[in-house]
A and B are shown apart, each in its own frame.
Chain A
Amino acid sequence: MLLEVKDLNTHYGPSHVLQGVHLEIGEGELVALLGRNGMGKSTTLKSIMGMVKPTSGSVKFEGQEIVGLPPYKVARAGIGYVPEERRIFPELSVLDNLMLGIKDGKIRNPNDPNTWTIERIFHHFPKLAERTHQAGGRLSGGEQQMLSIGRSLMGNPKLLLVDEPSEGLSPIMVQEVRNVLEEINKAGVSVLLVEHNLKVALSLAKRVYLMSKACIGCQASAQEVRSNHELRAKYLEA
């Protein structure tokens, strides 16, 4: 297993927002984490990333315990984070945003075709290439999403945590972002995807975790979620 989360608990003050979350992601897998709003999907990603300190539990990445580490160490272990709000640096240019994603400012093995470099990012995101020197804050929502994904890829992660990438985007951009995630996954990067757009999530993921009330309610295949009405009614529909 690439990532093993066991019995993860997180509190925000007195509220117990993650109550014993279990999940696993294999090498090269794209797994979706679904559920209604407020069930703790984003908190799960943040807790794995170390942006929120879990109160107990275990997060193993490539067999190493990483729970409780500060975010920069989790990132260095090989996990990239694409946050819900995209959080690109508005004053920096597109190029500088991407450059900050490079760990220690140096790309290891730049000639390996599997390594993410600026050229490779621009190849996957031609729109960003056109805006190399524009300030990140002046991009459209979709372009900012591309930039946020590209920026994490520059750190050459083995696993990408992606939070609501299609939120607030036009249908065309949603499709583009979906395709990019598929390409990235085909290129060997594992993905844990939080996504409210069921169609997008199920078209990408083979395996799905359904979250309810601060823990994982059940695990299913994308096929089951598609065909099983009860499952959808229980976990997803408002």
Chain B
Amino acid sequence: MDPMVSMYISQGIHGIAYGMILFLIASGLNIIFGMMGILNMAHTAFFMLAAYFCYVVVGITGNFWLGLVFAPLFTAVLGVVMERVFLRKAVGHMGELILTMGISFVIVAAIKKIWGTESLPLQMPEILSGMVNIVGVSYPVYRLFVIGLALVILVFMMLLLYRTRLGKIVRAAVSDRDMVNALGININMVFMFVFGVGTWMAGLAGVAIAPILTVFPGLADQVGMDAFIVVVTGGFGSLAGAFIVSIIFGLLSSYGVQFVSQFAPVLMVVFMAIVLAFRPNGLFGVKE
């Protein structure tokens, strides 16, 4: 195959893999916002925390897979604790915003205190570390794994939302949570579950990105800001919007670095500005 073509394809794979990670973070943010109206500023701190948890688990056990399973779970438990203990007492959306922002500062400070500010390497498992050759183009196995993982989670989320009673309750609560409550459904339990799933997804993204970018305290800002831009551009509360915009952003960032490297960091923001100029509620956002 033409080396140029194979380069385009492999850059594309890189972009999609990054887009998938953005999607994991953004969809968690989105589902929490859509249902509870809470813009969780601590979301990306949880994402980063999961990468550190994974670093610890891998350090103790030497097993990446255990990190992949347990680090997001620990993160989800912390997310649920935050929701139950603090967030429920916050008054109004401004209160929630300030509270979650404060929690995010606390998490980042704790991380710096415990693990320092160095970049900590996280070794990917042997089986995922090589390259694989498909029709003459070689791809890094790990990126393909990340794409596969995100797709599995996407399918799992779709089945959960559209095929189970719990998912239908969540979808109903997005449009009218008081009415759901009046039907005899304990909405607080549903919120807790949604918050747990949302932070769990952020945690998965944190673990998935750790072997690519290493683990460092700037992770939340670097990737987190992109995830927030995804949510705003795709439209608050829209999973489809988050998915499409994540992929676009992933590709923009990888081809951007390739072709217009000095402009690469602003491409997403420019894209967001253009979208919002024509659709102020985002690509798939609905008017309030």
Interface residues of A (CB under 8 A from B): 49, 51, 70-72, 74-76, 81, 83, 87, 89-92, 96-97, 99-101, 103-105, 151-152, 155
Contacts and interface: CB of A to CB of B under 8 A. Distances in A.
B175 A72 contact: no
A89 B175 contact: yes
A73 to B, nearest CB: 8
B183 A49 contact: no
A78 B187 CA distance: 18
Interface in B177-203: 178-187
Contacts of B181: 51, 70-72, 75
Which applies to chain B's interface (DSSP): helix, strand, loop or mixed?
Answer: helix
Contacts of A155: 183-184
Interface stretch (B61-69, B106-114, B166-174, B207-215): B166-174
Among all A-B residue pairs, the 7 with the closest Cβ atoms: A75-B184, A89-B172, A71-B181, A87-B179, A71-B182, A103-B184, A81-B182
Contacts of B184: 72, 75-76, 103-104, 155
A155 B179 CA distance: 13
A94 to B, nearest CB: 13
A75 B183 contact: yes
B88 interface: no
Interface residues of B, number: 18
Nearest to A89: B172
A96 B162 CA distance: 10
19 contacts: A51-B178, A72-B182, A72-B185, A72-B186, A72-B187, A75-B183, A75-B184, A76-B184, A87-B179, A89-B171, A89-B179, A91-B171, A92-B171, A99-B168, A100-B169, A100-B172, A101-B183, A103-B184, A104-B184
Given A71-B178, A89-B171, A152 B183 contact: yes
Given A99-B165, A105-B165, A75 B182 contact: yes
Contact of B176 (A70, A75, A89, A104): A89
Nearest to A106: B165
Contacts of A151: 183
Contacts of B165: 99-100, 105
Contacts of A76: 184
A79 to B, nearest CB: 9
Contacts of A51: 178, 181-182
